[in-house]
């Protein structure tokens, strides 16, 4: 705006100088013409000076703007990298925590597999003990003690998250059951578990031994 005003003033001074040149040639008029010419030249220099100053300032502004944009881009890139690294570290932390929890829960998995075999022996001995050739009183007492041992063992199993499956009547699940035979069973839906040859066990919901089962099949009417 200021430059435009100076240029307009310069133009007016030049026009006025031309008009004064048409006047009679005397010392007063010449002095006035010289004065206006000098003023016009100074205004022209001022305009060019201000133009150079404005151009220099505009260049500095552009340089600063470019630097600002570059710094903003760098900040954005660093923020994205930081957020990605933070997310990755959180995933690693959760996985590590899951591994530690699984190690605490399933660290005794191999021990439990061996221990359930003892439970199988105790359970079988308890069921078949009455058939042995012993006195009735001794047989009853010994069986009672075996039952107590077996009950205590099952209590310890439950305490540590080891559970025996009860699949009879349920649908066959390949993650829990192993089919060893097919049987004709009345009153049981075909495809369901009809009998258990060997008990299956879970440790905190994870199958550590599949149950050997017989699956009910369609029976043909005679």
Mean pLDDT of all residues in 71-83:
90
- Comparing 126 with 5, the larger pLDDT belongs to 126
Q: What is the mean pLDDT of the chain?
A: 76
Residue 42: CA count within 13 A, CB half-sphere: 6
Report d(CA 117, CA 136) in Å as an integer: 28
Output the pLDDT for position 20.
47
Whether the CB-CB separation of 3 and 54 falls below 8 Å is answered with yes
What pLDDT shows up at residue 127? 74
The pLDDT score that the predictor gives to residue 156 is 86
From residue 215, give the alpha-carbon distance in Å to each of 36, 176, 204: 119, 13, 26
- CB burial of residue 104 (10 Å; 0-12, 13-18, 19+): exposed
Q: Which of 169, 176, 158 is nearest to 192 (CA)?
A: 169
Closest alpha carbon to 115 in 80, 73, 159: 159
Angle 104-106-109 from CA coordinates, rounded to 5° = 135
Q: What are the phi and psi torsion angles at 52 (to 5°)?
A: -65, -40
**Mean pLDDT, rounded, for 98-105:** 79
Query: For 84-100, what is the mean pLDDT?
Result: 88
Q: Is the pTM of this model over 0.85?
A: no
Architecture of the domain made up of 162-222: Roll (2.30)
> Looking at the predicted structure, is the pLDDT value of residue 112 above 60?
yes
Could you write out the DSSP letters of every residue in 172-213?
Answer: P-TTTEEEEEEEE-TTS-TTBEEEEEE--EEETTEEEE-EEE
Query: Which pLDDT band, with edges at 50, 70 and 90, does 10 fall under?
Result: low
**Contacts from 132-140 at CB under 8 Å and sequence distance 24+?**
none
What is the pLDDT at residue 185? 77
C-alpha distances in Å from residue 128, one per residue of 26, 71, 196: 150, 84, 17
Residue 177, pLDDT score: 93
CA distance 182 to 194: 8
Q: What is the pLDDT of residues 122-175, one digit of tens each?
A: 887 777 665 555 555 556 777 777 888 888 888 888 888 888 998 998 899 999
Of 91-100, 112-121, 152-161, 205-214, least confident by mean pLDDT is 112-121
DSSP symbol at 170: S
């Amino acid at each position: 705006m200021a430059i435009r005003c100076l240029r307009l003033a310069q133009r007016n001074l030049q026009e006025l100088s031309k008009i004064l040149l048409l006047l009679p040639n005397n010392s007063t008029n010449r002095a006035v013409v010289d004065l206006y010419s000098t003023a016009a030249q100074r205004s022209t220099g001022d305009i060019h000076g201000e133009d150079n100053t404005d151009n220099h300032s505009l260049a500095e502004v552009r340089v600063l703007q470019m630097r600002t944009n570059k710094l903003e881009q760098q900040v954005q890139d660093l923020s994205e990298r930081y957020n990605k690294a933070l997310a990755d570290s959180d995933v690693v932390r959760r996985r590590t925590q899951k591994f530690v929890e699984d190690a605490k829960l399933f660290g005794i998995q191999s021990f439990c597999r061996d221990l359930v075999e003892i439970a199988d022996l105790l359970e079988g001995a308890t069921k078949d003990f009455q058939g042995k050739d012993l006195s009735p009183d001794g047989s009853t007492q010994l069986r009672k003690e075996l039952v107590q041992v077996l009950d205590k063992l099952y209590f310890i199993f439950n305490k540590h998250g080891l559970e025996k499956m009860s699949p009879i009547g349920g649908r066959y699940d390949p993650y829990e059951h192993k089919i060893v035979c097919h049987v004709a069973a009345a009153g049981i839906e075909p495809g369901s578990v009809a009998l258990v040859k060997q008990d299956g066990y879970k440790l905190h919901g994870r199958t550590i031994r599949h149950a050997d089962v017989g699956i009910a099949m369609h029976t043909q009417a005679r």
